[in-house]
């Protein structure tokens, strides 16, 4: 969440920067409500001051043995009026919080202005595989080899829910285990968290209120299915004040992820490309502001190290203002190449959210024992999402006879070299 004081102090600049993310953003309704809020506060304070003076007068008259009956009516009116104004004030403050809560984060100065097609490729690793045969789509070969079964999954849960079978299931579990231990060795504390969270947690992570229609809700219990472990991990220190020497705090967690992914998609996004449920290993950091962008660079390297260990060709892309998640100030994507479709797909988004989530969750640190607490910066990145990574393995590691080579790093976990 943005700081209302910063919006108030720099309205023109803040609106201009936010419009690079969404041209329809208009801060005027927020400022109108903020003016109304300050007027209500002024009225309430005047009434409370008058009530205080009246109460003092009543006490003085009683002490002097004089009647104060003529004051009681006005004091009652003040109490009634104050209660109504307090209720109106709470309503205005809720409206302000709702509107500010829907605003995206302000983009970092290094983020290019533009849409989804304007991202900047920063670098690539390895080379595209150019086999002398037609590489088959991962869904076709996965179902033919008995690794994937979307038909039975659809009968159980509906379309866009995957099911891994046999060696496909073993490979999926090996990917998760490999990535958890890989990142733990790189200094991340493993977390096995709940897979559901309450509304307050989803507000802190920024799923609510703006994206309520995109998440699965368990209405009876007031809970939501986790769309990414970021939503869980950002709440680990909600309401806490951390010591500067504790930072950065680095966590890695596995969760299944659930997303409605509203809308229809083309042929190129069938199979594992866009599904309602997928597995993901998530990296998360709490840092001091001064080092957060250096920590983002390190986070990107940690996510890249998985792709390198699996022998994957990939590219690193800097997203534009309009293509980032609401909470992000700067995002860098890792994209793997799928030869069966001739295009790149994102397998990790590594974002610096600065103080946006910390302000929502009141997550602070104390720079030194005598200093006032300040908000931490939060960072997140997939390390990695398995569904598209599985698609990349099935398509990039194909032989002409349809055999699929298992990445060397996973062979000790699955016990076989090929699918």
Q: Which of 17, 21, 37, 274 is catalytic?
A: 274
- 262: helix, strand or coil: coil
Which residues, in sequence order, are CB contacts of 53 under 8 Å at separation 6+?
none
Position 269 scores a pLDDT of: 77
State the pairing for strand pair 223-225/343-352.
unpaired
The whole-number pLDDT of residue 315 equals 98
Is 206 catalytic? The answer is no
Q: What is the pLDDT of residue 267?
A: 60
Catalytic residue among 259, 292, 354, 395: 259
- The CA distances from residue 59 to 20, 71, 77, 169, in Å, are 60, 11, 18, 79
Q: Which of 206, 329, 348, 349 is catalytic?
A: 349
Q: How far apart are CA 141 and CA 398, in angstroms?
A: 9
- The answer to whether 349 is a known catalytic residue is yes
Based on the residue annotation, tell me whether 269 is a catalytic residue of this protein.
no
pLDDT digits (tens, 9 = 90+) for 309-356: 999 999 999 999 999 999 999 999 999 999 999 999 999 999 999 999
Alpha carbon distance 191, 193 (integer Å): 6
Torsion angles phi and psi, residue 87, rounded to 5: -65, -45
Which of 206, 387, 388, 395 is the catalytic position? 388
Burial letters 149-186, b for 16+ CB under 10 A, else e: bbeebeeeeeebbbbbbebbebbbebbbebbbebbeeb
Per residue of the chain (419 residues), what is the pLDDT tens digit? 999 999 999 999 999 999 999 999 999 999 999 999 999 999 999 999 999 999 999 999 899 999 988 999 999 999 999 999 999 999 999 999 999 999 999 999 999 999 999 999 999 999 998 888 999 999 999 999 999 999 999 999 999 999 999 999 999 999 999 999 999 999 999 999 999 999 999 999 999 998 998 999 999 999 999 999 999 999 999 999 999 999 999 999 999 999 997 554 566 678 999 999 999 999 999 999 999 999 999 999 999 999 999 999 999 999 999 999 999 999 999 999 999 999 999 999 999 999 999 999 999 999 998 899 999 999 999 999 999 999 999 999 999 999 999 999 999 999 999 99
CATH topology of domain 4-101: Helix Hairpins (1.10.287)
pLDDT given at position 24: 97
Q: How many CB atoms lie within 10 A of CB 275?
A: 21
322 catalytic, yes or no? no
Architecture of the 116-414 domain: 2-Layer Sandwich (3.30)
Cβ contacts of 364 within 8 Å, gap of 6 or more: 240, 241, 242, 358, 373, 374, 375, 376
Structure tokens at 60: 């003085």
Rounded Cα–Cα distance for residues 187 and 301 (Å): 13
Q: Which of 43, 50, 200, 346 is catalytic?
A: 346
Instruction: Report yes or no: 381 and 350 within 8 Å, Cβ to Cβ.
Output: yes
- pTM for the whole structure: 0.92
Question: Domains of the chain: which residue ranges?
Answer: 4-101, 116-414
Same fold, 4-101 and 116-414: no
The pLDDT of residue 266 is 61
274 is catalytic: yes
**Cα 68 from Cα 404, distance rounded (Å):** 93
């Amino acid at each position: 969440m943005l700081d209302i004081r910063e919006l108030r102090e720099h309205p023109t600049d803040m609106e201009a920067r936010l419009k690079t993310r969404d041209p329809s953003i208009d801060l005027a309704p927020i400022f109108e409500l903020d003016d109304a809020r300050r007027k209500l506060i002024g009225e309430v304070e005047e009434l409370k001051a008058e009530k205080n003076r009246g109460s003092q007068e009543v006490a003085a008259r009683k002490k002097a043995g004089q009647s104060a009956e003529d004051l009681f009516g006005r004091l009652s009116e003040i109490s009634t009026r104050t209660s109504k104004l307090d209720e109106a004030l709470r309503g205005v403050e809720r409206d302000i919080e709702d509107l500010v809560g829907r605003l995206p984060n302000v983009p970092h100065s290094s983020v290019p202005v533009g849409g989804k097609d304007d991202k900047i490729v920063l670098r690539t690793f390895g080379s595209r595989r150019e086999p002398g045969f037609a590489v088959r789509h991962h869904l076709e070969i996965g179902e033919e080899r008995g690794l994937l079964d979307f038909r039975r999954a659809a009968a159980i849960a509906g379309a866009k829910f995957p099911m891994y079978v046999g060696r496909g299931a073993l490979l999926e579990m090996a990917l998760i285990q490999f990535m958890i231990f890989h990142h733990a060795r790189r200094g991340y504390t493993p977390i096995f968290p709940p897979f559901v969270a309450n509304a307050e947690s989803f507000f802190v992570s920024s799923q609510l209120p703006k994206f309520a229609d995109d998440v699965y809700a368990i209405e009876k219990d007031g809970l939501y299915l986790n769309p990414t472990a970021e939503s869980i991990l950002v709440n680990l220190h909600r309401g806490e004040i951390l010591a500067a020497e504790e930072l950065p705090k680095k966590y890695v967690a596995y969760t299944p992820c659930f997303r409605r992914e509203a809308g229809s998609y083309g042929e190129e996004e069938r199979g594992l490309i866009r599904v309602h449920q997928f597995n993901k290993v998530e990296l998360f950091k709490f840092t001091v502001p001064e080092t957060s962008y250096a920590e983002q660079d390190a986070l990107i390297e940690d996510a890249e190290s998985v792709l390198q260990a699996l022998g994957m060709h990939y590219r690193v892309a800097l997203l534009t203002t309009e293509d980032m998640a609401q909470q992000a100030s700067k995002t860098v994507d890792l994209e793997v190449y799928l030869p069966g479709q001739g295009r790149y797909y994102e397998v990790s988004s590594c974002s610096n959210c600065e103080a946006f989530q910390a302000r929502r969750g009141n997550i602070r640190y104390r720079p030194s024992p005598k200093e006032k607490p300040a908000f931490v910066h939060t960072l997140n990145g997939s390390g990695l999402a398995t569904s598209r990574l599985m698609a990349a393995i099935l398509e990039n590691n194909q032989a002409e006879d349809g055999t699929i080579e298992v990445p060397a790093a996973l062979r000790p976990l699955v016990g076989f070299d090929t699918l």
